[in-house]
Amino acid sequence: MDNRLKIGLRPRPHIGLGAVSADAGPKPHVAPANRPSVMQAPVLVLNATFEPINVTAVRRALVLMLKGVAQAEETSHAEVHSTSKAIQVPSVIRLLSYRHIPQQSRALSRKNILLRDRNTCQFCGAAFPASELTLDHVMPRSRGGRSSWENLVACCYNCNNRKGDRTPEEAGLRLQRRPRPFTLHTSRQLMRLIGHRDEKWRKYLFY
């Protein structure tokens, strides 16, 4: 038995003839873990009539463009690369065929609840990445609380643990705003909010 194993040390790794020392050459640059992906950046979606109708991610916008469903009206300085070409990242896309947009509320889903609440905990008011948020039933399910637009809110894990199976009042918490359904009006408000940060959106939102 190797003497190194007897005294609790790890055995030396076997290095073949083709191996390269970890210290040989420059180390690759590693981007910070919290750096947002360009593929998740928001893109404004216009109808064929140039009416703003939605906000999507760069990844989805590129899929629509590659399928010939939409075209870029505004682009950012960033690029994404395939094996054969580079594509400028869109900031605003326009559908090539008119889409009728119903006036009813969006489907109830975790994604839409977080979008409505702007990825902000509705109890402490802090913004978080989607992965660090959960959904909370304002009126607990154990007391008959329903999974509805009016009873579900974005919530950070600390506030969720603090609230537990109680009402906000019982837990000493206060809602930032009353939860409401996600309507087209709500969507337009979010578009304008993001539009303040991206000047390329403004001429399509403020008219």
**Contact status, residue 165 vs residue 141, Cβ threshold 8 Å:** no
Strand order across the beta sheet in which 42-46 lies: 52-57, 42-46, 86-95, 70-81
Average pLDDT over residues 46-55: 90
Average pLDDT over residues 38-57: 89
CA distance 112 to 127: 16
Q: Which of 78-82, 104-108, 123-127, 134-138 has the lowest mean pLDDT?
A: 104-108
Average pLDDT over residues 106-116: 85
What DSSP letter does each residue of 32-87 carry, written as one string? Answer: -TTSPPGGGSEEEEE-TTS-EEEEEEHHHHHHHHHTTSEEEEEEEEEEEE-SS-EE
Q: What is the mean pLDDT of the chain?
A: 81
- Under the banding of pLDDT at 50, 70 and 90, the label for residue 71 is very high
- Under the banding of pLDDT at 50, 70 and 90, the label for residue 11 is very low
Closest CA to 159 of 144, 172, 146: 172
pLDDT of residue 196: 67
- Under the banding of pLDDT at 50, 70 and 90, the label for residue 20 is very low
Q: Which of 8-22, 52-66, 100-114, 176-190 has the lowest mean pLDDT?
A: 8-22
∠ Cα 200 49 40 (to 5°): 45
CA distance 15 to 21: 9
Closest CA to 125 of 177, 87, 81: 177
For 50, other C-beta atoms within 10 Å of its C-beta total 13
CA distance 163 to 154: 13
Q: Which of 22-26, 83-87, 109-113, 147-151 has the lowest mean pLDDT?
A: 22-26
What DSSP letter does each residue of 106-167 carry, written as one string? Answer: PPP-HHHHHHHTTTB-TTT--B--GGGEEEEESS-GGGT--SSTTTEEEEEHHHHHHHTTS-
For 113, other C-beta atoms within 10 Å of its C-beta total 21
pLDDT tens digits along 190-206: 777 776 667 888 888 86
Domains and CATH numbers, the chain: 39-103+184-205 (no CATH), 105-181 (1.10.30.50)
Average pLDDT over residues 101-124: 83
pLDDT tens digits along 174-189: 999 999 887 766 777 7
